[in-house]
Amino acid sequence: MGEWKYLPSTSIPTSFNQAIMLPEVKIWIQFVCTQIVPTLNVSNVNTFRAIILYAILQNKEGIPHEGNTTNLNYQRAKEEAPTNTR
């Protein structure tokens, strides 16, 4: 039920059931499956949707990546800001 399904005779994952996800993650996968990669079957999450979901959750946690300079710029500004000594 809550495990990855694999291509026969390989270790290549193809999908897993969303029953193993936390509620917040289920909300995100619902968004991905209705807005980004439309599908009617949201109970089985394929590898492509899992990668999109992973990227969304990593960015939500504030982990910067090359395409996201907002967090990096904020950190630089915070480090370069003068501190009050009074």
**pLDDT digit string, tens, across residues 40-65:** 777 878 888 888 888 888 876 665 55
In a domain, 86, yes or no: no
What are the backbone angles phi and psi of residue 84, rounded to the nearest 5°? Answer: -75, 130
Q: How many domains does the chain have?
A: 1
In a domain, 85, yes or no: no
Determine the Cα–Cα distance for residues 41 and 64; give it in Å rounded to an integer. 31
Average pLDDT over the chain reads 76
Q: Is the pLDDT of residue 68 over 60?
A: no
Which pLDDT score is estimated for 14?
Answer: 87
Which pLDDT score is estimated for 8?
Answer: 92
Instruction: List, in sequence order, the alpha helices (H) in 1-86.
Output: 23-31, 47-60, 70-80
**Which structural domain, as residue segments, surrounds residue 21?**
4-80
Helix pair 47-60, 23-31: axis angle to 10 deg: 120
Determine the Cα–Cα distance for residues 54 and 72; give it in Å rounded to an integer. 20
Q: Is the pLDDT of residue 25 over 70?
A: yes
